[in-house]
Amino acid sequence: MKTEHEILQYIDNTPALKAFFQSPPLRVEEIGDGNLNFIFRIRDESGASLILKYAAPYLRLLGEDFPLPQNRICVEMHTLTYFKSIAPAFIPRMYHLDEEAFCFTMEDLAGYQLLQTAQFDQFIAPSVYSKLGSFLATLYTKAPPPKHEVHYYENATLKRISEEYIFIFPYIENHPALILPSHFTPSPKSPLFMQNIEQLLHLFQTEKECLIHGDFHTGSVMIKHESLAIIDAEFSLFAPLGFDIGTLFAHIIFGEIYNCFEKKPVQFQPIIRSLWKTFAKSIGNVPEHIVQQSVGFCGAELSRRLVVPAKAKPLEAIRTLEGKTNAYTVCEKLSIEMVERFLEMKSVEDFISLVERHLCVKTR
C-alpha cells in the first residue's frame, strides 16, 4: 500500500475510514522520512485528516533488498494502545488498527513538529522535558497485563537489528552495514570499551525490567508549544529502562552539539535536570543501576550514530565541514568516556559533569 490509488481503494473498502471523511475527494501525501515504514497524510476537502502508517515487507531506508516482517507494525499497535492506557496525555488517538493489512490510522498531529527539528530553531519549554521524565517514570512503574506473550509487545527481528546496529556492527572494521563520513575516522576502542559494550549488549538482551519504547529519541517525540505526543513504537521490547533514557539523553546531546557549532544557546543542564527531577519525584529513590545504565546506553547510542546509515540529523545539519568534523570528534570522545566509565556514575549530576567537560570544547 504505497501508492495514492492503493490507499484510496483501502479507505473506500474500510467502513470506519470511509465514514470519517465526509467531503471527498481525498488527497494523499507521503510525509514520513523514517527508516522503517511509510507514513501518509489523508485529507478531505473540509480539512478533516488522518495519518496512515503502513509496514512494507522491507526496510524503507534500504529498500526491497532488506526484507523485514510486516507484523512489526502489529507490535507497534499493541504497544501504543498499552501506552495510551497508562499515559493517555502523551499518545496520539488511534482510529483504525488493521493487523491483516499491516497498517493503522491515527490522529493527524497538525501544528506539531518533531522535537528533533524544533531544537534547531526555537526555545523548548522545560515542561516538555519534565513530561518526558513523567512518561519514563510511568514505563517503570506500570506493567502490561500478563495475559499476552512477550512477542505481543516485541518483534524479534527488530530487536536483533537493535543489537547488531548498536552493539555489534559499529565495532567490526569495514563492516558492509556501516557508512563512514569522509570527514571521520573512528578511533581504536580500548579493551575496557569493548568489554563494557558487551556488558551493555548482555543487559539489553537479558534484563526484562519493563516494557520500553525501544527507539525513544527526539525524532520519536512531537511537540506543539508545551504539549507532546510520542510516536513510532515499533522497536518496543522488555528491556532495561536505562536504554530508553540513554537513547533520549544521546539525542538531546546531539542537539546541544549542533547548538555549540552553530553558535546557539546551549541548555543541556536545565534540560536534563528538568527531566530527571520529574522522573525521580515520580518513582522515589532512583536505583543506582538506572543512572549507570542510562549513561552506558547513552554512550553506545552516541558512538553508533557516527557510523551507521541512520546518522544523527543534528550533526548532519551543521553547516561547515570544519564544524561537522569537530562535532564528530567531540561526540566520539564523549561516547568513549561514557561507555568506559558508566559503572562509576552515582547520580545524574555525575552524568551532567561528564558531558559538560566535553560539550562545546572545540568552540571555546
The pLDDT confidence band at residue 353, using thresholds 50, 70 and 90, is very high
Q: What is the dihedral of CA 264, 270, 276, 279, to 10 degrees?
A: -100
Q: Indicate whether 28 pLDDT > 50.
A: yes
For residues 183-196, average pLDDT? 97
Which amino acid belongs to residue 166? I
pLDDT of residue 340: 98
Range name among 2-16, 83-97, 152-166, 200-214 with the lowest pLDDT average: 2-16
Closest by CA to 331, choosing from 363, 296, 355, is 355
For residues 171-176, average pLDDT? 95
The pLDDT confidence band at residue 361, using thresholds 50, 70 and 90, is low
pLDDT of residue 149: 86
Grid cell for residue 340: 568506559
pLDDT of residue 339: 98
pLDDT cut 90: percent of the chain above it: 85
Q: Indicate whether 303 pLDDT > 90.
A: yes
Give the Cα-Cα-Cα angle 268, 250, 257 (nearest 5 degrees).
55
Please tell me the pTM assigned to this model.
0.95
pLDDT of residue 44: 94
pLDDT of residue 123: 82
The CA-to-CA distance between both ends of the chain, in Å, stands at 51
* DSSP per-residue letters across 275-327: HHHHHHHHHSSPPHHHHHHHHHHHHHHHHHTTTSSS--HHHHT-SSHHHHHHH
Q: Which domains does the chain have, with CATH numbers?
A: 4-107 (3.30.200.20), 113-363 (3.90.1200.10)
For residues 65-73, average pLDDT? 89
145-169 tens-digit pLDDT:
888 888 999 999 999 999 999 999 9
pLDDT of residue 62: 72
Q: Which residue has the higher pLDDT, 80 or 65?
A: 80
190-241 tens-digit pLDDT:
999 999 999 999 999 999 999 999 999 999 999 998 999 999 999 999 999 9
For residues 96-105, average pLDDT? 95
Range name among 90-99, 118-127, 252-261 with the lowest pLDDT average: 118-127
Range name among 59-73, 199-213, 248-262, 288-302 with the lowest pLDDT average: 59-73
Range name among 94-108, 109-123, 340-354 with the lowest pLDDT average: 109-123
pLDDT of residue 3: 82
Q: 335: phi > 0 → left, psi -120 to 50 → alpha, else beta; which?
A: alpha
- Asked whether 231 and 205 are in contact (CB, 8 A), the reply is no
The pLDDT confidence band at residue 63, using thresholds 50, 70 and 90, is confident
pLDDT of residue 363: 46
Q: Indicate whether 364 pLDDT > 80.
A: no
The pLDDT confidence band at residue 34, using thresholds 50, 70 and 90, is low
* Average pLDDT, rounded, for the chain: 94
For residues 353-360, average pLDDT? 93
Grid cell for residue 113: 513538529
